[in-house]
Structure formats: structure tokens, C-alpha cells
Structure 1
């Protein structure tokens, strides 16, 4: 690869007792973040001290971007509810997933439910507070869409097709809004692409990896204050051994550089996020590393 490399500098690490297999990170502030494995969701400080754990009333079950932080600093997350009056299942769970919001005092309200599709990923806009929710059905091949709601859960619209009537998404696993231009950036491993649409839902481009990548399977995605896109993904070499990488793109999908390459054995996926001070949070299997 001929592009210049700008290696990241490790500044600190966070280890969370009793947690491993991290799947997603949502940053509240440089010293406060939410991290999740498939079934556990915890709020931490910068040293790894657990501030809060999601109550057992809510069944968190996500291998993708199942939580986000609002502009007010509140947690918004996808979960089923235990022991609900609407529950008919033997395990005491509602049959439908809901989108819930946790305020700073720990109180939780339900914003909406998605009866016909499975919510997979969620992002709270830093521009206007809207919620962007990645959804998919359970058919094969998968068909996905992005639902836009206001901060109270009222539906504004959805994004499903491009201008030719083709399905844009298969499984929108991680979702992010670019605060510079309002683009919606979705990581879709099933499609093996980053799918980018503008704020109105018009398809702009798919990014399917650098020309030297033998394969491209995206995972976590985020954007920084300059509107650049950071995407984690697996790559294979000539012997079909694979590593996880973080690539940096400009807002139009042009490859800029490879920020990080690590051995695949240290990850289940490679969730990442970036704060307003350009700290990059990367979740390994057992720890979270913070780079600059």
C-alpha cells in the first residue's frame, strides 16, 4: 500500500473486571463511556471503574452498535423488557425490541418499539438530536433500512432504496452521522461495504475497501470533528490470514491512510469511537485502548 501511514499513539488502557468480548463503545466524555459485550452494558470512568450497569429488567442482546449517547449525555439503547405486562413469552420478555432512554439519574423511558423488524444499531445525531436506527428483517438474503425518528421516538422517515430502486442495506450493523455534512454512514458486513447516504437519504457512495484489500468486512465506524470517517475492518493477506485494521477516509469515501493494524486474535469485532479531543477508543477482546 503506497498511501502514507500515520500510526496511532497509545495513551491509556481500560480493563473492565468481568467483561470481555466487547462489541460497542459510546463516549459520553473523555472520562466517561458506555461499553457493551453481547449481553452486558456498563458505564465506566476513565480508569475502568464501573459507574452503572444496565438493570436486569432490560435484556440487552446486541453484537453490533446497540447503544448511543444523546447530545444531553443520556444513554439510548436497544433492548427487550423483562416482566412486562405485555409479555407472553415463557422467559418473561416482551416479544418486541424497544428503544429506551436512560437519563443521568438512571431513570429509563421507552421511546418506541419496532414490531415488524429487528433493531440492530442506533445513533443519536449531534446536529439535531434525531435518532437513526438500523433495522433488518429475518429473511434471506437480509433486507435492511434506516429509520429516522426525533428525540422522542416519533418517526420522521426511513431510508431503504437507492434511486434505481435497489436495496441499500442488508444488515446495518453500526451507524453514524457525519456532523460536518449530515451524511449517514452505515457499516454493513453482509454487503461488505460502508454505505453512505446524504441527510435526505440519497445514496452517495459505497466504500468497499482499498484497492489492495483482498477482502473488506467492515465493523465499527465513526466520524471525527473534521468529517473524516474511521472504519474498522478485517483484511486478508496472500495466505488468507487476516488482521483487523482501522482505515481513515475523507467524507467522500477516498482512502487517506491506515491508522492501525492488529492481529485478528485480539478481537471478536473491532468497535471504535472518537471524542471531541481526537481520542480514539478501540475495544479489544479484554481491554479498551485509547489512542491519539
Structure 2
């Protein structure tokens, strides 16, 4: 619609899609025609509040225009991602930009909020409550078993002379120490879950307030925490020790009296986080299906080359193309946000961090940049000297892995960063040979088992090293692959530690297991020049098609 030469479209009924909608339900947040009001009220499971659309619109709290502070904003520029008023239209601001009514923008946002609330109440909250209950039971069992162990030791000790009393006391002390350590771990886990439940409860309350809010700014600024809450802690269960008595032998009393088995506890934070990842994988065992299924094809998101995608969550996807814009779309094809790179040159790769921020690499100014979702401000976190960043990914521990080419054709390397601090360099194998080809395009991801996976199209291979940087395997296609015909680009991994890579020239996706064994192709979904790959939390695969500008959503698991 051209806002300077045509009138705004009339508001249509959300239910029948055809009639004008003079009414609005403030509970369900939908437009209604007169014929559909009665049908809407027939749903007695909800207490509806239907008012005139005019009344709803006049009571909304619209933001003030930044250019004309005395005017309310009624339109939203999708390219600039800002609201503006009718005077801005008359002054021909945002000329040629895609525009929608601010009401439509808020309606889309509230639909997302409704789904967020449902997930919090129906899925996330009950799981945390169940885990809190399980830990409480384990704490009760811990005390009982500790008492049983102490009793068994004392009973066995009655058959010994006073010379072994010290041994008995030492072992009981060890039991108490184990109980104390175990209790600390369980209490800590319980406290963390209780705190998270409190946060979820607060988030539920906040989302409910937003759903009933008429403050456009508050609704627009809301940032979902569902992705954070989905990462469930492990169902913590520590194996308890047992007492193994032996026959009395005076010469070998200490050895013969018996011993307690070692307490099995996470040794450090890394072990604990690995157990979290293991818990997530075990609860979602997804086998491959015989025939991958195309769920949807989002047409023509770009009118030119489309290079990559990165899932922000299950309904929003970041994309990058041949220009200097990084765009966030939802799964219905609506543009949610646009970010222009600092250098005004195209980004070479994009990724999403654990807390939902966007990261992109910029070859022009040799930087890695972070975009905060809260305010869309670009922050340069890494600046390189003599090297150009290529692919980037966020690790399970919140670090960044960056693969980069040198200005003077030195071997390509992978660098791990904690913030802006370089903590690890991966460049050569055990024989001092380069792991990666020089120059050419490369992308990087981290697997659930903490392997670092690189698609090296210059070497026509996927190169996988472990967390310490030791080469695990190189994949150059199935045994029947003609040498050099495999040209990998985008790479991603799923919840089962499978590795997926885009074979752009052969128009298909390769799926490997975590040890580099070829499992199958995805070659039946009419793929055309697949380049960028990403998976959401449900392992749905998003494929960016380089030449068509389309994004395809594919299911390949049961």
C-alpha cells in the first residue's frame, strides 16, 4: 500500500477473513465482525471482553513521534524499525519503505506473547516443579541411607578389638563427609531450580500483564526468556556409597574392615554443564525418518542471493544476504527487525548467543560484532590485526569460536574467545600440518559433544576436532563421491550430535553422525543451491537457498 496515494485497508474479521470488523476482543486479541461475535462468545472456556474497535484503538497508549513529539505514532516502518506519525507521511519521510499499521505490529507481537505464555504454563513450569519434587525425595533418601550405612559399620565394628575403633570412627566420619558433600550439591540444585521457578512465575505474571496492557512501548520492548527456561537442568541423581565388610584379619585390619565406594559428583562446572546437555539429549531421542518432509517454503525473502540463516527461537530467524542488512523474520514471513552493519558491507556470517543476542563477522573492518536484542545497538567485541574473520558460532559455555584467514596467506586458524580475550588457537594437527585450507569460505559450529566442526569448501571437506583441538576426523563425502565434487558451505548440528552440511553444487544436505559416518542425504525437498543452515530447538532444519532467496523449513526426524 502506498500511504501517499491510497487509503488504509479496512480491518477484516480475524475469524471469517472477509467482513469488516467493528468489534475487538481484548482477551483473545482478535478483530470481529458482527456475525462472528456470537460465535466467539460460544467458547465458554474463556471470559471474553468484546468492545468496539474504535474504543479499543482510542484507548491504546501510542508512542510519541520522535520527529513530531506532539503527534502519536500510528504507523511502523519495517525497514527502519521505528514508529512514525501521519505528519511524517506528509513530509515524505520513510518514502519507499515497507510500512504497516502499528496496531498490526502489536497484534503480531501479542500472538507471540500468547504462545510464550502457553509454553511457560503448560510445559516449562510443570517440568521445573517435577524436578524440584524429585530432589526433595532424594534428600530424604540420602538421610535414610546414610543412617543405614553408619549402622552397618557400627555393627561390623562390634566384632573388632579396641585397636580398630579409630578405623570405625574414620569411616563414619567419611560417611558424614560424603553426606555433607551430597547434601550441598542437592541443596544447590534445589536452590537453583527454586530460583528459576520464581523467575518463571514472574515471567508468567509479566507476560499476562503485557497481554492485558495497552502500552505499545512496553509490549514492543518485551524480550522473551522462554529460550533460557527451555534449557532444563539435569535430573540430578548421585550414586550413593555402600559398605563392604571383610573377614577379620589382625595383620591387615585396615584393609579387611571394609571401605566406602567413592561419591559420584560433578567434579567442576564443565562436568555439570555436560550433564545438562546429556539430559537434554536423552529426553528428546529423535531418529531419522525415511523421507524428510518439507514443512514450508518462505518465498523470496531476498530478491537476490541469500547466504545464511540463524534461528533466534522457534518462530524467529535471522537472515543475511548480499547486502549490508541483517534481517529478522518470523515464520509467517513478516519482517521483525533490520540491522545495518557498521561498515555498510555485507556480513560474512551470523550466529545467535546463549542469551539471544546476534553476532556477525565483518571482513571489511576485521571485526566480530554483537547486537543486543534489547536496544539493537552494535558493539564490536573483537578486532583483528592481520586476520579476516569468516565463520562464527556461540559455544555451549557462552564463548565465541571464530575461524579466520590471514592477510598474508598463512594457514587458516580457529580461535576461541571468552568475551574479547583469546583463550585457544587451533591451527595444526599432531604432525604440524595445517588443519584447514588457506583462504576460501569456511563456516563453523560446535557439536553437543563439544567437537568443533568446520566446513572447508577449499578443501572440499568437513574438518572436526575435539574441544582440545585434536583432529577427530575429516569427511569428504560418502565413499562413492567423486573427488572434489563435494563443496560444503553452511554447517549445523542437532540435539543428537548429528552434523548437517549444505552441498551447494549437488543441491542436497549431508547428515553425519558425531563420528563422521554418513547417514543419509536430504535431497527430496526440491532444494536449489542450499547454502546456509540452522536448526531450532525442535531440530527443524532451516535452509537458505542461495539463488532463489527462499528459506525452507524441513523435518528430517521422527
TM-score interval (norm. to shorter):
0.7 to 0.9
Q: Report the counterpart of residue 277 of structure 1 in structure 2.
A: 538
Counterpart check, 1:259 vs 2:522: yes
Larger Rg: 2
Does structure 1 conserve the Cα–Cα contact (< 8 Å) formed by 2:302 and 2:549?
Answer: no
Counterpart check, 1:218 vs 2:488: yes
Equivalent residue in structure 2 for 1:143, among 411, 415, 418: 411
- Higher relative contact order, structure no. (Cα contacts within 8 Å, ≥ 6 residues apart): 1
Question: Residue deviations 1:83-124, cap 9 Å, x none?
Answer: xxxxxxxxxxxx632111111121221101012111011001
Counterpart check, 1:182 vs 2:467: no
Q: Report the counterpart of residue 78 of structure 1 in structure 2.
A: 361
Does structure 2 conserve the Cα–Cα contact (< 8 Å) formed by 1:184 and 1:197?
Answer: yes
Does structure 2 conserve the Cα–Cα contact (< 8 Å) formed by 1:33 and 1:43?
Answer: yes
Question: Residue deviations 1:54-94, cap 9 Å, x none?
Answer: 135442424x5x110000010011127xxxxxxxxxxxxxx
Counterpart check, 1:26 vs 2:287: no
More helix by share: 2
Q: 1:211 to 1:148 in 2, by over 3 A?
A: same
Q: TM-score, normalised by structure 1?
A: 0.83
Q: Report the counterpart of residue 166 of structure 1 in structure 2.
A: 433
Aligned-partner SS, 2:340: coil
Q: Report the counterpart of residue 71 of structure 2 in structure 1.
A: none
Question: Residue deviations 1:19-46, cap 9 Å, x none?
Answer: 4311111111111111111223111111
> What aligned pairs does 1:1-292 form with structure 2 within 5 A after superposition?
6-39=290-323, 40-55=325-340, 57-62=342-347, 64=348, 66-79=349-362, 96-105=365-374, 106-125=376-395, 127-139=396-408, 143-150=411-418, 152-170=419-437, 171=440, 173-179=442-448, 181-214=449-482, 215-234=485-504, 243-260=506-523, 266-267=528-529, 269-284=530-545, 285-292=548-555
Q: Tell which deviates more after alignment, 189-198 or 100-109.
A: 100-109
Question: Residue deviations 1:206-238, cap 9 Å, x none?
Answer: 10100122221111111100001111114xxxx
**Aligned equivalents of 1:255, 1:77: Cα separation in 2:** 30
**Aligned equivalents of 2:502, 2:367: Cα separation in 1:** 27
**Aligned equivalents of 1:17, 1:200: Cα separation in 2:** 39
Question: Residue deviations 1:143-201, cap 9 Å, x none?
Answer: 21101001x2211111000000000112461100002x100000000011100000111
Does structure 1 conserve the Cα–Cα contact (< 8 Å) formed by 2:293 and 2:525?
Answer: no
Aligned-partner SS, 2:515: coil
More strand by share: 1
**Aligned equivalents of 1:143, 1:261: Cα separation in 2:** 37
Q: CA deviation at 1:279?
A: 0.7
**Aligned equivalents of 1:17, 1:220: Cα separation in 2:** 18
**Aligned equivalents of 1:46, 1:177: Cα separation in 2:** 25
Consecutive aligned runs of 4 or more in structure 1 exceeding 6 Å deviation? none
Q: How many residues align?
A: 260
Q: 1:200 to 1:17 in 2, by over 3 A?
A: closer
Does structure 2 conserve the Cα–Cα contact (< 8 Å) formed by 1:135 and 1:145?
Answer: yes
Aligned-partner SS, 1:29: coil
Does structure 1 conserve the Cα–Cα contact (< 8 Å) formed by 2:297 and 2:553?
Answer: yes
Q: Report the counterpart of residue 91 of structure 1 in structure 2.
A: none
Does structure 2 conserve the Cα–Cα contact (< 8 Å) formed by 1:5 and 1:259?
Answer: no
**Aligned equivalents of 2:452, 2:371: Cα separation in 1:** 24
Q: Which runs of 5+ in 1 are unaligned?
A: 81-94, 235-241
Q: Which runs of 5+ in 2 are unaligned?
A: 1-287
**Aligned equivalents of 2:389, 2:294: Cα separation in 1:** 34
**Aligned equivalents of 2:345, 2:293: Cα separation in 1:** 33
